[in-house]
Amino acid sequence: MKLRFWFILPTWVWLTGLFGAPFAIVLAYSFLTRGYYGGVVQPWTLENYQRLVDPLYLRILLRSFIMAFAATGLCLILAFPAAVFISRSAKHKHLYIQLVMLPFWTSFLVRTYAWLFLLRDTGLVNTVLQRVGIIHSPLPLLYNDGAVLLGLVYAYLPFMVLPIYATLERLDPSLPEAAADLGARPWATLLHVIVPLSRPGIVAGAVLVFIPCLGAYLTPDLLGGGRTVLVGNLVQAQFTTGRDWPFGSAVSMILMLLVTILVWAFLRRESEHLA
């Protein structure tokens, strides 16, 4: 009992200090008034939350959710075949997993900037396409929703591949064999056996991709070029250029609340499905 307490203590300290306390601060700020030079001042107010009903902000929230859903869906479509492929390869399994994790070896910021060099008007893609003669003027590859989506999918794809791969690895290899034995062609086996059984991995991957996508601000900032404002950028702007910490805090709290409700409902439905 005592030993258990000492083992858990660092985690407790870490979570209360670095998660609980900032959370409480943000919560408190969201009910205060903005100071003239940033920061917060008295009195307490609900005004920050009332401002959120403005269609402008609601549209940003909606766009952010749509973007996060789209990125999650695309990640799933791309990750599932990849995970199946990796789990089935006999020899180079570990190599492929290393490759999936390779991007983590470099800074996220650097990797996102690399996309700028690829996609801008004088970037690699446009230059090559023009030299080959397929196009005559550069394609608008950057600073739009497509570029942001691409960046999000690129950034969070590994978080979808790994949990799906992990469930596929645990799958009893005699199950697909049994399906084939009972007359299921490869597609039927995939649809009726492999996909349903990798559901826990898909759920985990979906949550791992959806949450950071919803709060993303670096990718939309760099690849969206300020034109694609998502809720993450809204929060960031309030704390920096906007100097409206209370409003930024209120947006954060609402975002957190929405994510919590959504993920909780999703996981609850999934656990009912498993039972």
Partner 1 sequence: MLYDRHELRRVDPRMKPVLELRSLVKDYTGQRALAGISLSIPRGSFFSLLGPSGSGKTTTLRMIAGFEEPTSGDVLINGEVVNCRKPYERNVSTVFQSYALFPHLSVRSNIEFGLKRHGIADSEARVVDAIKLVGLIGKEGRRPAQLSGGERQRVALARSLVLAPDVLLLDEPLAALDRNLRKQMRAELKTMQRRVGITFLLVTHDQEEALSMSDQLAVMNEGRIEQIGSPEEVYLHPRSKFVAGFLGAVNWIDGVGVRPEVTRLARESQNHGSKSFPAIVTDSVFLGDCFQVVVRLNSGEEAVAQVHRGSTVFQPGEAVHVCWNPADEITVS
Q: Which residues contact partner 1 (rule: CB under 8 A)? A: 172, 174-175, 177-185, 188, 192-193, 196-197, 199
Residue 204 C-beta: closest distance to partner 1, Å: 17
For partner 1, give the closer residue by CB, 54 or 177.
177
C-alpha–C-alpha distance, residues 52 and 180, integer Å: 55
Closest distance between partner 1 and the C-beta of residue 179, in Å? 7
Residue 123 corresponds to which tokens in the numbers above?
Answer: 């970037």
C-beta closer to partner 1: residue 55 or 173: 173
Helix (H) or strand (E) holding 176: helix 174-181
Widest pairwise Cα distance in the chain = 73
| Owner of token pair 């490759």 | 99
* Interatomic CA distance for residues 28 and 147, integer angstroms: 36
The beta strand positions in the chain, using DSSP E, are 33-34, 40-41
In angstroms, what is the minimal distance from the CB of 178 to partner 1? Answer: 4
Angle, alpha carbons 62-67-71 (nearest 5°): 150
**Of the two residues 196 and 226, which places its CB atom closer to partner 1 in the complex?**
196
Q: For residues 168 and 86, what is the distance between their CA atoms, to the nearest angstrom? A: 9
Select 59 or 192, whichever has its Cβ closest to partner 1. 192
Which is nearer to partner 1, 11 or 174 (by Cβ)? Answer: 174
Minimum distance from residue 82 beta carbon to partner 1 (Å):
23
Minimum CB–partner distance for residue 261 and partner 1 (Å): 27
**Please, which residue, 185 or 269, has the CB nearer to partner 1?**
185
Helices then strands, each counted (H, E), the chain: 15, 2
Reference 223, options 85, 88, 116, 72; nearest CA is 116
Identify the residue whose tokens are 């791992």. Answer: 208
H or E segment at 85?
Answer: helix 55-88
Q: In the complex, what is the shortest distance from the CB of residue 62 to partner 1, in angstroms, rounded to a whole number?
A: 35
Question: To the nearest whole angstrom, how small is the minimum distance from the Cβ of residue 167 to partner 1?
Answer: 12
Closest to partner 1 by CB, 53 or 272:
272
Query: Residue 157: which of 66, 77, 65, 64 has the closest Cα?
Result: 77
